[in-house]
Chains A and B, each alone.
Chain A
Amino acid sequence: MPILPPAAPGVRVVSPVTADAVDSLRLVLLVAYLQSELYSRAVGAAGFVAAADAIVFGTLSTQETNHVASLAALLTARLAPVPPRPTFDFTVKGALPGFAFAAGQYETFRMLAQAFEDLSVRTYKGQVQALVADKTALNAALAIHAVEARHAAEVRRIRGKKGWITGSNREDLPAFLQPIYAGEELTTQGTVDVAAGVGELGGAEAASQAFDEPLTAAQVTAIITPFIA
């Protein structure tokens, strides 16, 4: 648990600051760093992104960079240090050997984009509760969370997939990314059997698609760690 520096006299803290909120902001910032790095590397590699996808990935790159700046500003406003951008390893310690945003590797990049967007949705979702006491940070996280879901749907669709997750299906992603989808298969929410509720209108499949599930900080950290050099 990081220790917050004491507020300097005369400095106005705009929101209640809790260690929980700062930890949460740091975690989602880490995911935003990962995403912005992926897109900026892809967009920056001459001729790598397909012309048909250029607007989509340009938009994603711009918005993820915006998220990094927004989250860093929230940390600064809470007098918390902004963690530096890690050095990322997109070969994932050898799980994607030789991946370097090079010719012939475009689909691997799009798979990572899908994986990171779906991961991001679940990461924010898992941190919302820790932010409820800090309404400004809460709303910022919610506003980014929904955008991450828009991103996820768009990346999935340009890859020819549905915009939503069915069961815990990772589609055609490599097996090492399965933890990003683990636990998405729920069809009961609270005490409600949603699959029974929808009945013949999609049953368990619709019930699982209709609700996205959170990941814990520990789960997210375990997923991201291999991407950090």
Chain B
Amino acid sequence: MADDHSTTYRAPHTALAPPAVRRATSRREFFRLVSAAGALAALPGLVVACDSDEVTAPLNGIPASGSPLLIDFAKGDAAFLQFALVLENVEAEFYTRVVEGFASSTITIAEQGVLTEIRNHEVAHREFLERTLGADFAPAVTPTFRGIDFADRAAVLTAAKEFEDLGVAAYNGVVQYLTAAENVLAVVKIVSVEARHAATIRDLLSGRSADFSPNPTDDVFRPAKVAATAQANLVDKLGFVNAPSTFVQGPRQNG
């Protein structure tokens, strides 16, 4: 477990099984669901196959080198929350490593305060989604951040900007598929905080410029487009089953 970096920083699951056990169970649950599912739609360029059911993976493993992480959209709203949880795991783990690396980084003290709060918010989002989905349906996720130098302020902030912008576009793109009002509300409660993060990071990179809001309307991305980008930060091979066949574009027509 020593190399399972993400586990170290998880808030305690007080009412649930220990994280490692629970995550393994979640992974097997995914396999079970997938084996029972019909058509298997791999994302473009992604290989979907079975390999080891390992819970742990090396720090900064090779993207898509791990076990399949398959989301079955036949499950309706829960699948979209699972998808969101995959992204929140990546964000929470990213900022956890950022905070861990403060001592050896060029990030200023003031920026450390901002990034620590964003870390806390992403943990809040992850914990909310995990607990809403419940132990059996919260996917185990192994993020990876190959090529990001956590000691380099500009590299960290640039990566953060990309994660936050993607998060905004991803949440915006799932609302059209949700059926339960409480899930719509939960997603829109989160997405504006991701947008606040995005503008804040952009302000750290380029203060008092126009960069905080590069367009008058934000992006709305279909899940497959988000997944294709998110895969670079997942050891797991992200795949969709019964993916939505239609998507209504946002004002920018770029999703």
Which A positions have Cβ atoms within 8 angstroms of B? 52-53, 55-56, 58-60, 62-63, 66-67, 70, 121, 124-125, 128-129, 132, 135-136, 138-140, 142-154, 157-158, 162-164, 189-192, 194, 196-202, 206-207, 209-214
- CA separation between A150 and B188, bound complex, in Å? 14
From A70, A128, A146, A206, residue with most partner B Cβ within 10 Å: A146
A66 touches B186 (CB 8 A): no
Residues of chain A within 8 A of B252, CB atoms compared: 143
A138 touches B199 (CB 8 A): no
Residues of chain B within 8 A of A153, CB atoms compared: 195-200, 203, 212
Tell yes or no: B11 within 8 A of A by CB.
Answer: yes
For B121, give its contact among A138, A164, A190, A200 (CB under 8 Å).
A164
Residues of chain A within 8 A of B8, CB atoms compared: none
**Chain-A contact segment, one of B42-50, B124-132, B226-234:** B124-132
**Chain-A contact segment, one of B63-71, B141-149, B213-221:** B213-221
For B208, give its contact among A53, A62, A196 (CB under 8 Å).
A53
Interface residues of B, count at CB 8 A:
56
A210 touches B125 (CB 8 A): yes
- CA separation between A213 and B188, bound complex, in Å? 9
Which B positions have Cβ atoms within 8 angstroms of A? 11-12, 14, 114, 117, 119-125, 127-128, 131-132, 168, 172, 175-176, 178, 181-182, 184-186, 188-200, 203, 208-210, 212-213, 215-220, 248-252
Q: How far is the CB of B187 from chain A (nearest CB, A)?
A: 9
Whether A150 contacts B198 in the complex (CB less than 8 A), given A142-B220, A143-B252, A211-B193, comes out as yes
Q: How far is the CB of A227 from chain B (nearest CB, A)?
A: 22
B184 touches A145 (CB 8 A): no
A209 touches B218 (CB 8 A): no
From B120, B194, B220, residue with most partner A Cβ within 10 Å: B120
- Provide 26 A-B residue pairs closer than 8 Å at the C-beta atoms, listed in order of the A residue: A55-B210, A59-B210, A66-B217, A125-B185, A129-B181, A129-B185, A135-B176, A138-B175, A139-B175, A142-B172, A142-B250, A144-B216, A147-B215, A150-B195, A150-B213, A151-B213, A157-B199, A189-B189, A192-B128, A198-B120, A202-B120, A206-B121, A206-B123, A209-B117, A210-B121, A211-B190
Whether A70 contacts B127 in the complex (CB less than 8 A), given A139-B172, A143-B251, comes out as no
A149 touches B193 (CB 8 A): yes
For B120, give its contact among A56, A132, A191, A201 (CB under 8 Å).
A201
B11 touches A140 (CB 8 A): no
Q: How far is the CB of A114 from chain B (nearest CB, A)?
A: 12
Q: Is the interface of A mostly helix, strand, loop or mixed?
A: helix
Q: How far is the CB of A72 from chain B (nearest CB, A)?
A: 14
A210 touches B124 (CB 8 A): yes
Residues of chain B within 8 A of A145, CB atoms compared: 188, 191-192, 195, 218
A192 touches B199 (CB 8 A): no
Q: How far is the CB of B127 from chain A (nearest CB, A)?
A: 3
Closest to A209 in B: B121
Closest to B255 in A: A139
Q: How far is the CB of A6 from chain B (nearest CB, A)?
A: 26
B199 touches A62 (CB 8 A): no
